[in-house]
Structure 1
Amino acid sequence: MPPLKELPTRPEPARRSKLNRRQALSLLATGMASSLAACSKPDEHILPYVKMPERIVPGEPLKFATTLGLAGIGRGVIVTAIDGRPIKVEGNPRHPGSLGATDVFAEAAVLSLYDPDRSRTILRDGAIASREALQGALVNQLADARNRQGDGLRLLTSRTTSPTVLRQIDALLQTFPAAAWHAYEPTDDDNARGGSQLAYGRPLDAVADLAKARVIVALDADPIGHGPDQIRHGRGFAMGRSEANSFSRLYCLESAFTLTGAKADERLALTPDAIERFAMSLAGQLGAARGASELPDRQRELLRKISADLSAHRGEAVVMVGPTMSAEVHALAHWINAQINAPVRLIEPIDRTPSGKQAATLEQLAGDLVAGRVRQLIIIGANPVYDAPADLQFAARVQRAPFRLHMGEYVDETAALATWHVPQHHPLEAWSDLRASDGTASIVQPLIRPLYGSYGVHELLAWLTGEQDASAYDLVRQTWQGTASGDFETWWQRALHDGLIADTSAAAIAPAAPPLPAMPSAEAQDAPAGDITLVLRPDPSLWDGSFANNAWLQECPKPLTKQVWGNALALHPEDAAKLGVASGDIVTIGAGDRRLEVPVLTEPGSAIGVGMLTLGAGRHKAGAIGDGVGANAYALRSAEHRWRIAGVSVKPTRRREPILTTQNVVRTPDDVRELYPLYQLGHTPAAAASDDTPSLMPRTVRSSDGHAWAMVIDTSVCIGCNACVVSCQSENNVPVVGPEQIAMGRDMHWMRIDVYDHGAATGLPLGFQPVPCMHCEHAPCEPVCPVAASVHDHEGLNGQVYNRCIGTRFCEANCPYKVRRFNFFGYADGEEYANLGADSYRGQKNPEVSVRARGVMEKCTYCVQRISAARRSAERDNRPLGPDEVRTACQNACPTRAISFGDLNQPAAAINHGKADPRHYALLGHLGTRPRTTYLADLRNPAPSPEERT
């Protein structure tokens, strides 16, 4: 009898196979060969385990430095591998792009590596083909291109900063001088480059140092939100909030809620047009010839505060502008930053070839396709059929190229329309190099042989120039041969060990002070009443859609709404009421002749008259996880208006679709004040509150070996980014349950981030509070367990004995913090969602943590496996554990270092400094549970009024 299921699983769409019997058998043989190749003997000399290779011990982890990219920008990471299997990603403290931390995309990269939906073999018109057949076709096509000097040859890539790729593109363009290289990044901010062009006469990249900024002004910008620079900006923001005598102040004017707005000391929700007028008025206050003449009272008051702060903190203040702002406003920000000597470094763009060539645009490629000027189109690492602006009609135009070759990790929407598809290596399988946003270069080295029959981007570019047998390893080394000082092999080993190439950051440029840019009329009016301005943003979980088939990220709650498995149109409650819709109602968004249906989610922090929708959903060729999830916001985009579309229509359809969320934002005033204390700078308690709650239990539970593990979380610098949530999932084999189970309230995350709204609609702050298991000394879960599965272990931790648990769930009912998770199904044992039961996913599992079965309660363990490993290491060395030697997965992931963990019995441990902080408090401390996980209250620094200044 098959196992019973309480809920039906999502039905698989019917698919009609286009393969005949011969092709099917060929596919089977190729798949078997590919899977065996991943475990086969590598090309280099190895030793059998009868004679143990150096450094290799079965079951013992090894760590390697490499680099992961996001939107072409490199972030240095250290990847843990066990028995040749990469299982965990952590930040590289030496790398300026990661500073020892991670984000959700870096953490989830290890799951994408084992995705069974990744492309496995070369395809020609959807049928399996050999490498020899591909190279033969390339020889013929390149001969034709060579006869025409490259006329008709077009190369389209995503944005890349790889010095080796850019060197190879240079060589390709020299071989085919009439060819053209185009680059397209769907999340790129073209207005930022346009702004620097207006300000300085050439495109420049601005690298802001938030650690040196005492005043930060964000004009519809989200510097600490998800993106390539989130880790660097988040760390700088946290460093600026560490000392009371130099505590920074963050102003944010934005059209829709962002993480930056949530952490702002002063926030105001405005339409994008109103923010542009405010920027002009700010320039007028700082000496510009003119500015907007009239502002409403609230804006005028905020303008006085900001202009006074910027003037008082010259050299320590910065203005940042987001992609919804016009190029003129970006240029205006350059002018303001020059006036106040902002801590911003201007550098040459890091995505140009060594000869200085800059990629042409996707719009130019679309025009060439329409005109019939493209004979051979090579697309590498891009998916424009899915994410190109809708008015370019790229799906129709791309088919006008007779020869279309696509390289990517998946047979995606673009691959489906290509004549040839080449599977691309995952970043953890490839040799390459990348630059951080400041220009620092680092090597990308593989952690594992390719699992499938994939190829590297360097190999394909070499094929295009006639090098049939070039290896990525040799090509990357050739790039850096002339850079090394002294012996190259010694230099190379050092670069691989450190995870970056020293002294490669881009040189700062000191151009002349920019002139005040020509601005549109200062008296411009907002859109007519009743119209909605649509603001588009990258998705905080799926980014641009390239992570759509990653189950961890699909089930990762969006920080501000807690939505999972989909996206929704965020509207202010007043706008929703005018339209007659509520959360969960499906509406039709119209922008010109483009239409999209999407559910509504009311968001009090949005500006009235603004709707916000995230990109990255609505895929139909993503894979078993990502297909059919959410609405494709790219369908509303145009080449001219990529981030802001004015005057869209929103019409109810009278249909509903439930919004899947893992929890609710806490908005009840009494609960917010009690559960999430918030202070203003200078008004914190004189001393930390002591717990004197009467109890019959002993004051302190003493462990047998003298350790007292505890955690303190500083909510004032927590930015709600979810890096800790996904890191915990990766480290502890936390399962994904799927949308049906989420709808039943059965999410399995061991750590959640509660959101507290102090009144965002009226400009008050939003706060984030990470909540793992509290590890209570007087744990309510322990006395109610009939089989003593919930116990204190020998080190004083609140442990969970999985093989003893019988699933009564009494402990869950008795836990006031609701941090325990119950396996209603065999999420890791035969009842996985979609394709998560595939054998390949087993390669990611951490062997140090048991995989729990159905009917078992599980929860945060303070990464007890890491505690055990550190203890064993100390015992081998015959030494005591260091004060901060044990670091949990969530602690390592945190970009702002908000999480501290350590031994309370060691006075030198950082955890004791947190416990002594006046802001220290215990969540629900009045219950007398004496939790080992405690918090530091949020601290904000609002600007004083003019009267208070005087």
Structure 2
Amino acid sequence: MPPLTPPSRREALRLLGAGVTLAAGGCSKPVETIVPYVRFPEQLLPGVPVRYATALSLSGWARGVHAIAVDGRPIKIEGNPLHPASLGATDVFAEAAILDLYDPDRSRTVTERVNGIASWDMFERALSGPLATVRAARGRGLHLVTGRVTSPTLARQIDALLRDLPEAAWHVHEAVEEENAARGAELAFGRRLRALPRLDRAETILCVGADPLGPGPDQIRLSNALIGRRRDRARFGRLYVAEAALTLTGVKADARRAVHPFDQPAVLATVANVLGAGLPGPELPEAVRQFARAAADDLKAREGRALVLAGPALAPECHALVHWINARLRAPVDVIVPPDGIAGRKPSTLAELAHALDRGTVTCLAILGGDPVATAPADLELAKRIGRARFSVHAGLHGDETAGATHWHLPLTHELESWSDLRATDGTASLVQPLLRPLYDGRSLHEILPLFSSRTATAGYALVRETWKAHGGTDFEGWWRRCLHDGIVEGTLAPVLDPGEPRLIALPDLGRAAGLTVELRPDPCLWDGRFANNAWLQECPKPISKQVWGNALALSRAEAGRRGLKAGDVVRASAGGRSIDVPVAIESGVAEGVGVLTLGYGRERAGAIGNGVGADGYKVATQVASRLLTNVELTKTGRSEMILRTQNYVEIEGETKKLFRQIDLAALSKAEPKGIGADQPSLLAPWSGDKDGHAWAMVIDTDACIGCNACVVACQSENNVPVVGPEEIARGRMMHWLRIDIYDAGGPEAPRAGFQPVPCMHCEHAPCEPVCPVAASVHDDEGLNLQVYNRCVGTRFCEANCPYKVRRFNFFGYADGQPYANLGAESVKAQRNPNVTVRARGVMEKCTYCIQRIAAERQAAERDGREMGAVATACQSACPTRAIHFGDLAKPGNAIAELRQDPRHYALMEELNTRPRTTYLANLRAPNPDLKEDHA
């Protein structure tokens, strides 16, 4: 495939101008003509942001969002408060989708493997021959491969195609699949069902290998429910977690144990036996046995308000046993029919496709979306087998590994460029509407699929409307516009079923395998690898390790010591005759005999950002051991690599217990709020108050923060924060205006950790201000510590004087002339927020409490003749647990003042008397008094 070149400035402006018409039309069908700015579109005001409700997918599941466009350019993603999967918040993947839209490495045209650039007409002519062959055979030889299908329109199209060609085969592949959970439900209930835990109604929760607060399509919904319930101190409950390595859920746990994956079924069996299962008594280490018994007793005591969750790596029998346990506990779980199926059709697997390729019976192979060559189990050798198909085509956003293995590659449109529909995990449907016309010559899956049938090619807009025609009633147009406005289709929530009494399934004998066991997990920043070419996510610190630009094999300190390994040593990890070279990272909370590696790295055809970054865990995964590798051998290579961790450069000296307050729930009644300063003698002039009638402040609830990094990427998107790349990160030159520190008051084998977001403190006695020789760092009369960019001469005195390490310096013109990799392309420049200055080289920058949003609300209030209303910062809007609170202290009745009187209130390093406007609420825990915590 020939290399792709970025468009010229003239071409980029032409393409962006094409989106203006759609932006003006809002919820109507896109107009096919381009409207020049000399005839400005109606309803579109220059420079005024416009919101459109749409949905973004993750592994096929929808998260409802509001996409914000300025002058026809989408620039920011925020959550849709009406959508059950987003509830007005976002995650890192939704926030970063805006950068994927403008990715310079996106596929721009049809390509053919031998001849290079082609056209859609050329592809259709090439397709006509093999298509005629399979039509004559009633579809035999045609194989479709898709990801998870939750789109009602796409499901309808696939069903129609399979009706016309009944001998055709449909295969579904998701790299991060839920097969064990689905098979577990089948064992328990006799059919495949989907369980939706109601964490808002569960007070005692046991997670065995499960991470409900971790990355995934349900992260926002589940974390919002759990943290929302724990705000009610009477229903605070207790969270138990048994896991192989520390997760976001493990960090928030009241009681946690590092448990080997092969001991986790025994934990479930212990709980089941307390409830009367009568299973054979499992063997467990004494500390884990005590943990399991304590959790079981707590669960039993809260029948009707207790819940057990199993992780995706556990066997189907474990999931079936969890259904039995939850039935005994009368757990708050909704059971529904999976919303990602087509009635009466069970898709085939990639293994069945591999067998068909081996038999030579595949006449036409169409891989529509996804990258199965990169993410399929290594023993399938899919890249080699695809070559046996007589005709193969791949449709995708990038010319990835699968595109390199097929004869043809078709460019897909981004979800922000196309019409579609998607379902959330609870079945709720959303309409997907474009914000601009396609930047390149791409088509949606809805427009590509008719090429394989005898049906007339139809625009995606018409296909989606046809799907919902019967649902809209007599006033379809009114109903349609209402659905587009709200972002959801009412009445589509999947009905809750009574699945009946689950069967008690005996657990298989999973004797612990000799040697090291390695658990493969989706990456919290790259997911399954689909975001590998997204620079924001590559440079986003992983919540636990704070690693960027790569992955590593995480081992416990004791395990690494036994093997003579230290952090950064590169080892060859071998399993089943396959091996990869990967650096070692030493982390707290990893079980003995276990290593953990995240997926999504080591890509060869991701693009300029993602190529060659990290180690590819898929190369050692097999069909039998897709997520849990046993008997893994580690061999030293003699090489070492630097593990890039951002927290290394911002560590604040001081005791963890003082910097990050943790309070046991039982001691909360005795706690007293700590002031924002010690009022000690100061060389600074006393704070004279907020003369403009406003006093902006922020309070961050560390008990609600799950460390998901949504706020970090939201700040980057909103404020044009540049990416600096791995070489600059290695020098300590990161640029994020907001970071999330992780503190651990426990020991290496038993962490007692918590997250603390750290933006600028906006100190009333700001140490950065008096040292600036040009008054670039100044205070305004509303309590904001400002940075005047055009005054700054780059002395960096303010950075040296900041005790919180929150100021960033542009060592290079990261956003102007010296960008990392291809981030200087014209398409990337189109993403930038026009209301925020793009900083030049030699300028200091930092968090400003989103002053542009404050200014916008002030102008709107003056225009409307009213008082200023609430202002939401970008980080506050993104947070799925509403951990960040922002408001005006000078406004009577503002909740921010009440929070500063909370018994948990404290300021970071208040003894310095900087009097910060950003303050915190302490982390709460409810430890089980019967469990002794080991902090050795």
**Partner Cα separation in structure 2 for residue 945 and residue 718 of structure 1:** 27
Question: CA deviation digits over 1:220-275, x for unaligned, max 9?
Answer: 11110001111111101111210111103110000111111111100000101111
**Aligned pair partner of 2:369 in 373, 381, 385:** 381
Displacement of 1:553 after TM fit?
A: 0.4
Matching of residue 59 in structure 1 with residue 47 in structure 2: yes
Partner of 1:339: 328
**Aligned pair partner of 2:118 in 126, 129, 148:** 129
Partner of 1:554: 538
Matching of residue 682 in structure 1 with residue 666 in structure 2: yes
Displacement of 1:38 after TM fit?
A: 4.9
> What secondary structure sits across from 1:734 in the alignment?
coil
Partner of 1:215: 204
**Partner Cα separation in structure 1 for residue 918 and residue 34 of structure 2:** 47
Displacement of 1:384 after TM fit?
A: 1.2
Question: CA deviation digits over 1:57-114, x for unaligned, max 9?
Answer: 1111100000000000000000110000000000000000000000000000001111
CA contact (8 A) 2:710 2:879 kept: yes
Partner of 1:514: 502
Partner of 2:161: 172
Equivalent position amino acid for 1:943 in 2: N
Partner of 1:906: 891
**Aligned pair partner of 1:184 in 173, 177, 183:** 173
**Partner Cα separation in structure 1 for residue 897 and residue 423 of structure 2:** 38
Displacement of 1:139 after TM fit?
A: 2.6
Displacement of 1:438 after TM fit?
A: 0.3
Judged with a 3 Å threshold, the aligned counterparts in structure 2 of structure 1 residues 667 and 786 are, in CA distance, closer, same or farther, namely: closer
CA contact (8 A) 1:665 1:755 kept: no
Q: How does 1:687-836 map to 2 (within 5 A)?
A: 687-690=672-675, 691-696=677-682, 697=684, 700-759=687-746, 761-836=748-823
Question: CA deviation digits over 1:895-948, x for unaligned, max 9?
Answer: 110000000112322212211110000000000000000000100111232999
Partner of 1:497: 485
Displacement of 1:656 after TM fit?
A: 0.5
Partner of 1:3: none
**Aligned pair partner of 1:887 in 872, 891, 894:** 872
Judged with a 3 Å threshold, the aligned counterparts in structure 2 of structure 1 residues 174 and 293 are, in CA distance, closer, same or farther, namely: closer
Equivalent position amino acid for 2:852 in 1: Q
Q: How does 1:67-78 map to 2 (within 5 A)?
A: 67-78=55-66
Matching of residue 625 in structure 1 with residue 609 in structure 2: yes
**Partner Cα separation in structure 1 for residue 905 and residue 861 of structure 2:** 31
Q: How does 1:870-881 map to 2 (within 5 A)?
A: 870-881=857-868
**Partner Cα separation in structure 2 for residue 905 and residue 661 of structure 1:** 40
**Partner Cα separation in structure 2 for residue 28 and residue 931 of structure 1:** 45
CA contact (8 A) 2:705 2:755 kept: yes
- State, as a whole percentage, how many aligned pairs show the same letter: 54
CA contact (8 A) 1:164 1:476 kept: yes
CA contact (8 A) 2:17 2:34 kept: no
Q: How does 1:588-603 map to 2 (within 5 A)?
A: 588-603=572-587
Judged with a 3 Å threshold, the aligned counterparts in structure 2 of structure 1 residues 665 and 280 are, in CA distance, closer, same or farther, namely: farther
**Partner Cα separation in structure 2 for residue 142 and residue 655 of structure 1:** 52
CA contact (8 A) 1:772 1:819 kept: yes
**Partner Cα separation in structure 2 for residue 206 and residue 55 of structure 1:** 44
**Aligned pair partner of 2:79 in 88, 91, 105:** 91
Equivalent position amino acid for 2:17 in 1: C
Partner of 1:108: 96
Partner of 2:249: 260
Equivalent position amino acid for 1:437 in 2: T
Displacement of 1:640 after TM fit?
A: 1.2
**Aligned pair partner of 1:328 in 317, 323, 337:** 317
**Partner Cα separation in structure 2 for residue 339 and residue 54 of structure 1:** 61
> What secondary structure sits across from 2:647 in the alignment?
coil
**Partner Cα separation in structure 1 for residue 653 and residue 713 of structure 2:** 30
Judged with a 3 Å threshold, the aligned counterparts in structure 2 of structure 1 residues 163 and 665 are, in CA distance, closer, same or farther, namely: farther
Partner of 2:593: 609
Q: Runs of 5+ in structure 2 lacking a partner?
A: 22-29
Equivalent position amino acid for 1:121 in 2: T
Judged with a 3 Å threshold, the aligned counterparts in structure 2 of structure 1 residues 356 and 760 are, in CA distance, closer, same or farther, namely: farther
Partner of 1:200: 189
Equivalent position amino acid for 1:591 in 2: A
Give the TM-score of the pair, scaled to structure 1: 0.94
Partner of 1:428: 416
Partner of 1:926: 911
* More off after superposition, 677-686 vs 806-815: 677-686
Judged with a 3 Å threshold, the aligned counterparts in structure 2 of structure 1 residues 665 and 582 are, in CA distance, closer, same or farther, namely: farther
Displacement of 1:762 after TM fit?
A: 4.4
Partner of 1:448: 436
CA contact (8 A) 2:55 2:62 kept: yes
Matching of residue 476 in structure 1 with residue 454 in structure 2: no
Question: CA deviation digits over 1:854-906, x for unaligned, max 9?
Answer: 00000000000000001111111111112xx1000000000110000000112
Partner of 2:647: 663
**Partner Cα separation in structure 1 for residue 925 and residue 412 of structure 2:** 47
> What secondary structure sits across from 1:663 in the alignment?
helix
Displacement of 1:760 after TM fit?
A: 5.0
Displacement of 1:295 after TM fit?
A: 3.3
Q: How does 1:243-322 map to 2 (within 5 A)?
A: 243-322=232-311
CA contact (8 A) 1:77 1:89 kept: yes
Equivalent position amino acid for 2:815 in 1: A
Question: CA deviation digits over 1:492-530, x for unaligned, max 9?
Answer: 000000000012111111011111112224xx54333xx
Partner of 2:557: 573
RMSD: 2.1
Matching of residue 39 in structure 1 with residue 21 in structure 2: no
CA contact (8 A) 1:666 1:755 kept: no
Partner of 2:839: 852
Partner of 1:458: 446
Partner of 1:154: 143
CA contact (8 A) 1:667 1:757 kept: no
CA contact (8 A) 1:88 1:110 kept: yes
Matching of residue 636 in structure 1 with residue 636 in structure 2: no
**Partner Cα separation in structure 1 for residue 909 and residue 633 of structure 2:** 46
Partner of 1:437: 425
CA contact (8 A) 1:579 1:652 kept: no
Judged with a 3 Å threshold, the aligned counterparts in structure 2 of structure 1 residues 613 and 764 are, in CA distance, closer, same or farther, namely: closer
> What secondary structure sits across from 2:226 in the alignment?
helix
**Aligned pair partner of 2:656 in 662, 672, 690:** 672
> What secondary structure sits across from 2:289 in the alignment?
helix
CA contact (8 A) 2:588 2:750 kept: no
Displacement of 1:292 after TM fit?
A: 2.4
**Partner Cα separation in structure 2 for residue 519 and residue 402 of structure 1:** 45
CA contact (8 A) 2:678 2:912 kept: no
**Partner Cα separation in structure 2 for residue 396 and residue 50 of structure 1:** 54
Alignment coverage as a number of residue pairs = 919
Equivalent position amino acid for 1:324 in 2: A
Partner of 2:67: 79
Question: CA deviation digits over 1:150-182, x for unaligned, max 9?
Answer: 001000001121010010000010010000100
Judged with a 3 Å threshold, the aligned counterparts in structure 2 of structure 1 residues 33 and 807 are, in CA distance, closer, same or farther, namely: closer
> What secondary structure sits across from 1:256 in the alignment?
coil
Equivalent position amino acid for 1:269 in 2: A
CA contact (8 A) 1:921 1:936 kept: yes
**Partner Cα separation in structure 1 for residue 665 and residue 473 of structure 2:** 50
Equivalent position amino acid for 1:675 in 2: L
> What secondary structure sits across from 1:211 in the alignment?
coil
CA contact (8 A) 2:694 2:890 kept: yes
Partner of 2:26: none
